[in-house]
Structure 1
Amino acid sequence: MPQENLFILFSDFGLGGVQRKIVDIANYISISKKYENITTHVILKHKSEVSFEKYLIKEKRVVVHYQIRLPIFRRLEIFFQNLEFLFLYLKYHPKNTFVFFHYNLPQLLLAKMFFYRQLNIIVGQDNILSLYNKPPHITRCFPNFFISFLFSLSSLVITQTSFAKNDLMENYFLSPNKILVIPNWAVDAGGMSGRKEIELIYCGRFAPQKRMDRMLKVFYGVKKVLPKAKLVLVGQGSEEKKIKKMIKEMELTKNVVLKPTTFFLNEELTRASLFILTSDFEGQPMVLLEAMLLKVVPVILNYPAANEYIIKGYDGFIEDTINDLTKRIIFLLSHQKIRKKIGENARDTVLKKYNKERIEQTIKAIRSSSD
């Protein structure tokens, strides 16, 4: 088979869902015999202090490229990144370029201008764009017409839910034939088990989108009934000071524990009974699927498309109000047998619907888009 290069473009290799996906895709290609002719090039804007890069199987056809950083001169930085990408394109001639999120597309404009037909772009849009493309969720908000133009440069857009697909069609005028819904996945690490020492856990960014103020309000209600309950928050982000202030004001310092982002997330998840989400919106959180795989029951304050991957009462719970979510958590923490059964169902759901076959489906979609 002729040799083939795949480019994957993102901002960094910090600990997050997209970074986890990049590692899974690159490693899946590396160890698969049917893809032994493909070399994956991961192109990143900057290095992270804590990075998933160490989990890449680099000796097997994976190369990482870091681009020039000029944070003070933003426009100049984008220009140089365009030149860098053009140089990499000329050097490796990738058959496909997989770009995560619309805001990374501008650095491909120069190469697309010179190699319009040859440069095949696939976009991974792992969120609900119309909800995401506004302050405070993103620093550079593009107008809808410009986003539509950027998407016009791609041959395929992959998203995780039908709701997100409809959002792209209605607000950015994408053809339904150009959008493919492929859910996320979780890789089974062998069914870890451990003592349930934590009642509730959240893992992810401490960002406005996550509405952790609502999370603390829910937990405040839980603590009134179950005064020894523990909530562990694993992550970091711009809302950390605000969260610490709320914890102190609500007198939750003995019950809420903040922990930094960690490579050993499964060890934290295994100790928890419930995984809580109170976000304004999500794509399909990788960490949620990882929690379900470890039999941690998801309890969610309703957001768009949550019901596309959680079946209420079977493998998790979705509630419409803070009061209802508080009551549901108290009920589950007070009924171990029900909680255990839901946890088993959650693991079964991930094993059947959100497994490695989704990685294969994603790779096939990327490759077939250029045929």
Structure 2
Amino acid sequence: MRTALVLGTGLIGTSAALVLAARGVRVHLRDHEPERARTAASLGAGTLDEPEGPVDLAIVAVPPTHIAAVVAEAQGQGLARGYIDVGSVKGGPLGELEQLGCDLSTYLGTHPMAGREQSGPLAAAGDLFEGRPWVLTPTAATDTAVLNMALELVALCGGVPVVMDADAHDRAVALVSHTPQLLSSMVAARLESADETAVRLCGQGIRDVTRIAASDPAMWVEILSANPGPVADILAEVAGDLDETVRALRALESADLEKRGGGVDGIERMLRRGNAGRTRVPGKHGQAPAAYETVAVLISDQPGELSRIFADAGAAGVNIEDVRIEHSTGQQAGHVQIMVEPGAVRMLKAALRERGWSIRQE
């Protein structure tokens, strides 16, 4: 791949452009908002110059509801030898392209499973796709050369290619991406009118659940509008679980011991189902999730403290598998939660205490 055209310079389009430009590919940038394209160009993502002829690959990075129209227009203008999109919904755009009579041999739908709450070119990063699944949804009509260019793009970006059927992809992302977004927003919405005293009690749990609620509403309206059926199906199942859980909690309010017992059973059943589902979420490097143990260390909000604790753990010969920071409310301090192999816990605690760190007792 020597030349590419990125149509849409938001988070995903600009991130892909940054990677290609850094690898020596001549990248041309277009956006219906010229200012965004100029911003992406200023970041080193490519040039605003029009290509002299067809580029090797056109990357369509627009909302799902606009993919078919943009691909059709690009094909009509002969802008590239191959066309891919990076939208989060695949079945709908493919069906629209078929209805428009587009050349499906030069088109391939893809979806990098990467992103963040922020959007736009300023949120882009060249390492956004590192180690992340990148779904490819070829059809019987997809030309091998186009598939190979898409695989080259994924490899250059450090992604992990996953081949799927378009409709199966849409059902999958409805479960692992689109529904979680809505549920996060619904929980966060409860905080909008909550008493200030209650909000000040927010801990790491509510922060984890509501993190993605900061996402751009306009972007998510576009995504959900392109995949409403599968998301509605899953939400209907969640609604059934909610109804069952509400009944169990109401039973716990009852003075009837038998009803209370049924309520306890209902709550425990739901929590255990959650335990079972959580174990299926891939762990480090895509492997089965490991059972790490947590060492919580008190840390002050000062420059260099985090690097010092990492250095002390390294000096003790302990590999940190994961880390989280729990900030204290109203204080310039918090706890660093260090996840390590169970066998390393005692050694890490002893080493950190020896170096003056305060360990929270579990």
Q: Which one has the bigger helix percentage?
A: 2
Query: TM-score if structure 1 supplies the norm length?
Result: 0.36
TM-score (norm 2): 0.37
Larger relative contact order (C-alpha < 8 A, sep ≥ 6)? 1
